[in-house]
């Protein structure tokens, strides 16, 4: 008989129990596997979002830098920004955000093509008070604006002007037609038709003046006028029997003598109707005084009536300083006279000529208008004559003479570029592809035609057949065959200078048979002798007027039709040109792309 | 004489002790996993809450969620799961940081934050 030891039973039992526990533990671990994934997911979710937000931070920083003309932000612990050139002026910005080992990228497409130039319709800018006795006509721009930094009195006629802005008051005497009158002072119109009148002072319309909308911070006085809609913060006095006023709101009181229809009106103050009155419907906050027998007057009293009428926004006009001295360093040819009366020319940035000082004189053979570096005892070019700088009526006629500081330009033409004169300039016959800039006054006369370089374009400025060896390098990009556009290139005529707070010259006097293609900038005032046409904008700075009014008595036409693409007459008054080198960044809509986690580029 | 069959009392007791220790350990582990699952869910909810509050600012919503300096419910009328979280925001420069705080199922305080630009270019 064999006996098995009992110990074997116990070990087997323990083994079974431990095995069961192991199986149970494995089952628990297996069933909680999804929990481990959930843990990872939760932490990944947070890392992903923070990395995404860091990528957005990088994208915003890159867009801000590019818009400011700066380079991309350097890589940091938060983000790395790269750019891909897609051609056709498009670029792809890729910003990779980093956080706790996670990387998420976002993209944005940019357009580097220049945005449409900001529309500047300020065709005429006049500093100081203006008394317009003559005529101004603008064609080719239905949105043309006349800005006056001062008071305006229009006794003459204006046509083609959409908006008249004045920092002072506006007084219109004639039968004018303008879309917008906007003034910081009072506006008075004795006649005419207007779409919108906005005044920070009072508005007075008399005669047959008609306005669609009147907005004013002050009072309204309407005498035999017609107003479709008016909102005024001050009192309204309808003092003409034939005055018609449509929708009316005032925070003051309303008094009416009109027998025509008035209203519906909302009046915070009292209402007073003199005489029998006409049809009038009003809601008033104050007291009413009218002939109650007139059943066409319907008044509703609403004590405590409050009407919200916003203040008229003020007119703000930048006051330019026109100073020819600022342009001397930019000029290709700066003319001055020495003590002996010889013409000195400071040449700058001209192909075929070294920068420096030259004389403009003749030679022993009698030829005139030559640039040379030394003169002989007779005042003729001593060293080898160079290119003729300009063409007189013949090779033996002067094109430019000087008496004291008074210059006279007459002939066929001048080497293209920016011309600067120390003194007064009388520009006579000839066709010029230049900017004429003088520290004194400028007078045009005879058969004078002037084209600003931006107006005439590359061919006449940079490939001029008359002066093939005198190419102004600062205006011509000969590698691309395009003009270098500068705001100085928009100038046709600029007169006047300022030094140590003292103004000199600044009058521009236009002859009747002249043709001006470019901007005209008068430091003091513009005098139109007869009927002048300017194909550009006019700025009159009123420097040195000492409180006197700009008197505009001639007839001036501003023709803005068919302007060449290179000529942007509202391109600003600085001499630098362009927009300061800042690229124009435009974010393409719907171009934001989440490149996903882990994507770098 | 036949040998006695079955388990002795000692064997049964030892087995029960081993089994009890093992099952108790597993139950404790199971509880730990249960709390961790709740924590993971809360972590997700807090991340989404912070991101939503930031994106509300990007979209120009005013007031956006968590638009307060001190910890408070994301919005005054918060209810349900949202009411379990408190948050605040702080702006520095053009960046806004939203911090979310909540109490875990273990009774401990947990917190996370996200930082993003306050405004994005449209």
**B122 contacts A21? CB cut-off 8 A:** no
Tokens of A475: 């205006």
Q: Do you know the residue count of chain B?
A: 122
By Cβ distance, the residue of B18, B115, B120 closest to A17 is: B18
Spell out which residues of chain B touch residue A21, defining contact as CB-CB under 8 Å: 18-19, 22-23, 26
Rounded to a whole number of angstroms, the distance from the CA of A69 to the nearest CA of chain B is: 17
Amino acid A557: pLDDT: 86
Tokens of A469: 């060896």
Amino acid B11: pLDDT: 78
Q: Are A71 and B69 in contact (CB under 8 A)?
A: no
**B30 contacts A28? CB cut-off 8 A:** yes
Tell me: pLDDT of B2 over 70.
Answer: no
DSSP state of A588: P
**Packing angle, helices B9-58 and A33-67, rounded to 10:** 20
Amino acid A314: pLDDT: 92
The phi, psi pair for A283, rounded to 5°, reads -110, 125
Q: Which residue has the tokens 């909810």?
A: B45
Q: Are A384 and A372 in contact (CB under 8 A)?
A: yes
Neighbours of A488 (CB within 10 A): 25
Amino acid A596: pLDDT: 60
**B3 contacts A57? CB cut-off 8 A:** no
By Cβ distance, the residue of B3, B40, B120 closest to A60 is: B120
The reported pTM is 0.63
Nearest CA in chain B to A40: B40
Spatial distance between the Cα atoms of A208 and A219, rounded to a whole number of angstroms: 19
Spatial distance between the Cα atoms of A228 and A205, rounded to a whole number of angstroms: 13
What pairs with residue A391 in β-bridges? A413
A359-402 pLDDT, tens per residue? 888 887 888 888 888 888 888 888 665 678 888 888 788 888 99
Tokens of B71: 């910890």
**A38 contacts B40? CB cut-off 8 A:** yes
**A25 contacts B47? CB cut-off 8 A:** no
Provide ipTM, 2 decimals.
0.79
Nearest CA in chain B to A62: B121
**B23 contacts A10? CB cut-off 8 A:** no
Q: Are A432 and A413 in contact (CB under 8 A)?
A: yes
Per-residue burial over A409-441, b = 16 or more CB atoms within 10 Å of its CB, e = otherwise: bbbbbbbbbbbbbbbbbbbbbbbbbbbbbbbbb
A349-368 pLDDT, tens per residue? 898 888 889 988 888 788 88
Give the domain ranges of chain A: 11-115+588-594, 169-314, 324-518
**B41 contacts A42? CB cut-off 8 A:** yes
Rounded to a whole number of angstroms, the distance from the CA of B76 to the nearest CA of chain A is: 25
Nearest CA in chain A to B47: A46
By Cβ distance, the residue of A9, A18, A56 closest to B120 is: A56
Spatial distance between the Cα atoms of A100 and A597, rounded to a whole number of angstroms: 13
Q: Whose CA is closest to A158, among A189, A186, A127?
A: A189
A26-50 pLDDT, tens per residue? 888 887 777 778 888 888 889 999 9
Mean pLDDT of A248-277: 90
Q: Which residue has the tokens 């926004």?
A: A313
Mean pLDDT of A473-499: 88
CA angle A311, A306, A268 (to 5 degrees): 85
Q: Are A218 and A204 in contact (CB under 8 A)?
A: no
Tell me: pLDDT of A116 over 50.
Answer: no
**Packing angle, helices A7-31 and B9-58, rounded to 10:** 10
């Amino acid at each position: 008989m064999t006996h098995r030891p009992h110990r074997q039973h116990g070990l087997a039992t323990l083994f079974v129990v431990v095995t069961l526990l192991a199986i149970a533990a494995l089952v628990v671990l297996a069933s909680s596997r999804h929990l481990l994934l959930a843990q990872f997911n939760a932490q990944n979710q947070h890392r992903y979002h923070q990395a995404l937000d860091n990528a957005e931070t990088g994208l915003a920083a890159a867009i801000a830098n590019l818009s400011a003309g700066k380079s991309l932000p350097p890589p940091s612990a938060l983000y790395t920004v790269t750019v891909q050139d897609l051609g056709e002026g498009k670029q792809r910005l890729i910003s990779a955000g980093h956080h706790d080992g996670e990387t998420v990228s976002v993209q944005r497409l940019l357009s580097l093509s220049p945005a449409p130039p900001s529309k500047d319709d300020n065709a005429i800018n006049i500093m100081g008070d203006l008394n317009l006795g003559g005529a101004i006509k603008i064609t080719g721009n239905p949105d043309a604006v006349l800005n006056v930094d001062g008071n305006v009195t229009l006794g003459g006629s204006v046509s083609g002007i959409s908006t008249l802005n004045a920092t002072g008051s506006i007084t219109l005497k004639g039968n004018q037609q303008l879309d917008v009158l906007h003034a910081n002072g009072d506006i008075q119109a004795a006649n005419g038709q207007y779409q919108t009148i906005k005044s920070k002072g009072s508005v007075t319309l008399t005669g047959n003046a008609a306005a669609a909308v009147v907005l004013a911070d002050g009072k309204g006085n309407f005498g035999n006028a017609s107003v479709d809609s008016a909102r005024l913060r001050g009192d309204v006095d309808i003092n003409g029997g034939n005055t018609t006023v449509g929708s009316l709101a005032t925070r003051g009181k309303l008094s009416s003598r009109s027998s025509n229809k008035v209203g519906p009106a909302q009046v915070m103050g009292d209402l007073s109707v003199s005489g029998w009155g006409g049809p009038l419907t009003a809601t008033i906050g104050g007291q009413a005084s009218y002939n109650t027998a007139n059943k066409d007057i319907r008044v509703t009293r609403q004590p405590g009536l409050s009407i919200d009428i916003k203040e008229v926004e003020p007119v703000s006009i930048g006051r330019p300083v026109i100073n020819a001295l600022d342009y001397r360093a930019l000029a290709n040819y700066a003319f001055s006279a020495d003590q002996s009366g010889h013409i000195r020319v400071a040449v700058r940035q001209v192909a075929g000529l070294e920068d420096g000082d030259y004389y403009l004189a003749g030679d022993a053979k009698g030829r005139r208008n030559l640039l040379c570096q030394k003169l002989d005892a007779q005042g003729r070019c001593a060293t080898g004559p160079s290119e003729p700088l300009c063409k007189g009526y013949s090779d033996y006629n002067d094109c430019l003479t000087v008496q004291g500081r008074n210059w006279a330009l007459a002939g066929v033409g001048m080497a293209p570029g920016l011309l600067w004169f120390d003194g007064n300039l009388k520009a006579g016959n000839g066709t010029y592809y230049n900017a004429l800039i003088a520290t004194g006054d400028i007078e045009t006369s005879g058969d004078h035609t002037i084209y600003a370089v931006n107006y005439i374009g590359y061919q006449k400025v940079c490939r001029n057949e008359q002066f093939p060896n005198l190419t102004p390098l600062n205006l011509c990009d000969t590698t691309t065959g395009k003009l270098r556009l500068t705001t100085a290139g928009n100038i046709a005529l600029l007169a006047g200078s300022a030094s140590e707070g003292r103004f000199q010259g600044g009058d521009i006097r236009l002859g009747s048979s002249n043709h001006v293609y470019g901007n005209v900038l008068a430091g003091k005032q513009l005098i139109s002798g007869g009927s002048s046409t300017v194909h550009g904008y006019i700025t009159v700075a009123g420097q040195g007027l000492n409180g006197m009014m700009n008197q505009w008595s001639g007839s001036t036409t501003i023709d803005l039709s068919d302007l060449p693409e290179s000529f942007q007459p509202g391109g600003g008054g600085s001499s630098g040109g362009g927009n300061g080198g800042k690229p124009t960044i435009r974010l393409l809509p719907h171009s934001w792309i989440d490149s996903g986690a882990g994507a770098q580029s | 004489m036949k040998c006695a069959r079955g388990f002795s009392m000692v064997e049964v007791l030892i087995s029960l002790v081993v089994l009890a220790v093992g099952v108790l350990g597993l139950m404790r582990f199971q509880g730990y996993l249960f709390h961790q699952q709740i924590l993971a869910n809360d972590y997700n909810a807090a991340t989404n809450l912070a991101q939503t509050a930031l994106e509300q600012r990007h979209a120009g919503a005013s007031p956006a969620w968590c638009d307060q300096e001190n910890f408070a419910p994301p919005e005054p009328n918060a209810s349900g799961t949202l009411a379990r979280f408190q948050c605040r925001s702080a702006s520095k420069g053009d960046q806004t940081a939203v911090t979310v705080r909540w109490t875990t199922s273990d009774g401990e305080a947990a917190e996370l934050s996200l930082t993003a630009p306050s405004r994005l270019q449209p």
